[in-house]
Amino acid sequence: MSVYNQAIAFYEYKHLAYEGRADLFWKMEEYDNAHQDYLKALEKNPDSAYAWKYKGLLNHYRLDNSKQAIKDLTVAVGLDSDPDTWYELASVLWHIKDPDALSAYESFLNFCQYEICEKNQVDWASRFIACVNRDTSCTWRKEFYQEWLK
């Protein structure tokens, strides 16, 4: 923690130090402090896809603010089309039963054509899309995906 504090005091690119300290706060389960440091990082560099992504994940998984998480993750994917960020955005949308989950999972799979993605994420997104599109390969119970049927 002291290294991050010193870096914040002296380092020209303070957003990286704030991001690192936010990650450390998160690991220490000091979620409000982590959130504040992601905000400070974004004050220094509003184009940090990393800070937007992890602020979004923190909002969803630890601060119970999925609506803000969607806003944060949407900014992140606009800055850097990282497949993992698309997957997280799709998962938050799925969690709150937002119909945009389908297109977000599709975007995730499209970006996976250019990068290596985790197999379990690809499998989950593919199964979800197959079921929503009423593909015969769907193996899930209908209750699991019924909200998304067209």
- What is the percent of the chain where pLDDT is above 90? 73
| Averaged pLDDT for residues 117-121 | 95
Alpha carbons 65 and 57: distance in angstroms, whole number: 10
d(CA 71, CA 76): 9
Q: Regarding the domain with residue range 1-80, which homologous superfamily does it belong to in the CATH classification?
A: Tetratricopeptide repeat domain (1.25.40.10)
How is the chain split into domains, by residue range?
A: 1-80, 83-150
Q: What are the C-alpha distances in Å from 141 to residues 111, 134, 144? A: 28, 12, 6
Least confident stretch, 5-14, 39-48, 115-124: 5-14
Nearest to 37 by CA among 8, 63, 57, 13: 8
Contact 79, 60 (CB under 8 A): no
pLDDT digits (tens, 9 = 90+) for 93-113: 999 989 899 999 999 999 998
